Amino acid sequence: MDILGLVGSPRRGGNTDILVEAVLSSARGCGHVSHTIYLAEHEIGPCIDCRGCKLGRRECVVQDGMQPLYQRLDGADVLVFGTPVYWYGPTGTMKQFVDRLRPYYANGRLRGKRALVAAAAGEGPRDSDLVLEMFRRTAVTLELDLVGHVVGTGYERGDVLNDTPALRHAAALGMQL
C-alpha cells in the first residue's frame, strides 16, 4: 500500500511533521510504502474558481506546483493530512491545497481512498474541533474514507514529543492502515 503524507506546516521537523512521521513509520513497520510531501516547498496557488476542472478531463487547468501533486495523489492508496492548527483552522498552505482538490469532486479519482488527519495544536484537542470538521466534510464530499485522526499538543518545535498518548495514537493509526 502506498501512503502519502501531506505536511502543511512551514517547518520541517516541527510538531506536525513528528506526528505524520509517527503514523508513516508505524505503517512502514507493517510493510507499507510511504512518502512525505512538504506542501510549503511547492508553489500552490489558490483555486481561481475558473471551473476548468468541470470540463473535459475534469482536471485543474492552473499550471503551478500543484500539477505534479495530482499525480502523487492519484497513485496513493492512503492520504495523511498533517497540519498545525492556526487560529482554529489549517495553515494557509494546507487550505490552498485542499481548495485545489476541487477536480476530484468532478472526476472522483479519490473516491474510496483512505485518509486520516494529524494535527498539532497549542492547546491540543480543544483547539482542533473546527479543523477536524473541515477535513471530515472534505472527506465526505470527495468520498474519502476518513479512518481517524490524531491531535497532539504542541506549540514550540518538538513539544509534541512530550504528548505520549498522541504519539501512541499516531502509531496505532499507522498500524491500522
| Residue 97's CATH number | 3.40.50.360
14 assigned to some structural domain: no
* Residue 109: pLDDT band with limits 50, 70, 90: very high
Q: Residue 56 has what pLDDT?
A: 87
CB 122 within 8 A of CB 84: no
Range of the domain at 118: 23-176
Give the pLDDT score at 140. Answer: 98
- Domain presence at residue 8: no
pLDDT at residue 102, rounded to an integer? 96
Q: Is residue 38 part of a domain?
A: yes
Q: How far is CA 121 from CA 1, 9, 84, 92, in A?
A: 29, 12, 6, 15
Domain-located, residue 3: no
User: How many angstroms separate the CA atoms of 126 and 107, rounded?
Assistant: 35
Looking at residue 59, what is its pLDDT?
92
Has residue 13 been placed in a domain?
no
Check whether 28 has a pLDDT greater than 90: yes
Domain count, the chain: 1
Strands (E) located in the chain: 2-7, 33-38, 78-84, 114-121, 145-153
**φ and ψ at residue 117, rounded to 5 degrees:** -120, 135
Q: Is residue 39 part of a domain?
A: yes
| Torsion (CA) 144, 146, 152, 158 in degrees, nearest 10 | -40
> What integer pLDDT is reported at residue 62 of this predicted model?
94
**Tell me, what DSSP letter sits at residue 2?**
E
In a domain, 5, yes or no: no
Tell me if 95 is assigned to some domain. yes
